[in-house]
Amino acid sequence: MNREGYAYLFEGFEQINIQITDEDLKYHVTSYDTAPLLWISNNNSYTYKLFKSFMDDLDIMDEIKTLVDYDEQIRVYCGFFVVGKGMDRETWHKDYHDGANAYTLITPLFELDPSHGNLMYKDEASNIKLYEYKINEAIIFGDGFEHATQPYAKTDELRVMLSLTFGTDKIEYWDILKETIGDQSNYMILPCGHEKGTCECAG
Ligand SMILES: [Fe+2]
Ligand SMILES: [Zn+2]
């Protein structure tokens, strides 16, 4: 892939929405508004299964099951590479509305450069804290967890995180889930287990 041609994606001047295809691997690239952070998601079942296999290998589903209202299994909704080369603002947000019964996992794909931003979050008393990303360690958080990428100066060192969203297999929660994750990616597996846009389960 010609890296030069993608440099504009990191400029942060426009909202990004493009597809990348490399043989069987299909990805979708999006940004939230003009924040210079790219969310590169699985865009077919082939890439979805690659991301899901990371999750299966972690063997944490039994623990997740103690936190989530589910029927038979924890569903992996979507996988992402979250790629940045600088962050000029604090984009505070929560990944899920209350009661969504879903979680986000984030772990660095490569060792972070010392210049890279970590994860800012608010504790129960709304104090701002910092979680430092470590290789071979993931953070998992659900509803109520307010967070932002710690701003950091523009750099040539790509900051690449691996992120997955997962949670309940009960379709009744899709109404809450879709409020925050419904448009995060083009391709997504719904709680019912079907690809978004291909079934009537959500009513
Ligand atoms: Fe987030
Ligand atoms: Zn369905």
pLDDT in tens, 23-71: 888 999 988 777 788 999 999 999 999 999 999 999 899 999 999 999 9
What residues contact residue 121 under an 8 Å CB cut-off, 6+ apart? 128, 129, 130, 131, 141, 145, 146, 147, 148
Of the ligands numbered here, which is closest to the C-alpha atom of 181?
1
Q: 167: closest CA among 103, 79, 106?
A: 103
Superfamily of domain 4-181 in CATH is Jelly Rolls (2.60.120.10)
Of the ligands numbered here, which is closest to the C-alpha atom of 82?
1
Task: Answer yes or no: is pLDDT of 2 > 60.
Answer: no
**Beta strands 139-141 and 102-108: pairing type?**
antiparallel
Q: Give the predicted TM-score (pTM) of the model.
A: 0.93
Q: Which two tokens stand for residue 126?
A: 């709304």
Residue ranges near ligand 2 (ion) with Cβ within 5 Å: 192, 194, 199, 201
- Residue whose pair of structure tokens reads 């990303």 in the numeric block: 133
Cα within 13 Å of Cα(87), Cβ side:
26
- Please say whether the beta carbons of 138 and 107 come within 8 A: yes
- Cα(11) to centroid(ligand 1), Å: 20
- Cα(44) to centroid(ligand 2), Å: 16
Q: Give the Å distances, CA to CA, from 109 to 59, 80, 81, 196.
A: 18, 11, 8, 27
Q: Which two tokens stand for residue 180?
A: 């925050």
Q: Which two tokens stand for residue 49?
A: 């299964």
**Every domain of the chain and the residues it spans:** 4-181
- Cα(147) to centroid(ligand 1), Å: 6
Proportion of the chain above pLDDT 90, given as a percent: 81
CA 166, distance to chain mean position in Å, is: 10
pLDDT in tens, 114-135: 999 999 999 999 999 999 999 9
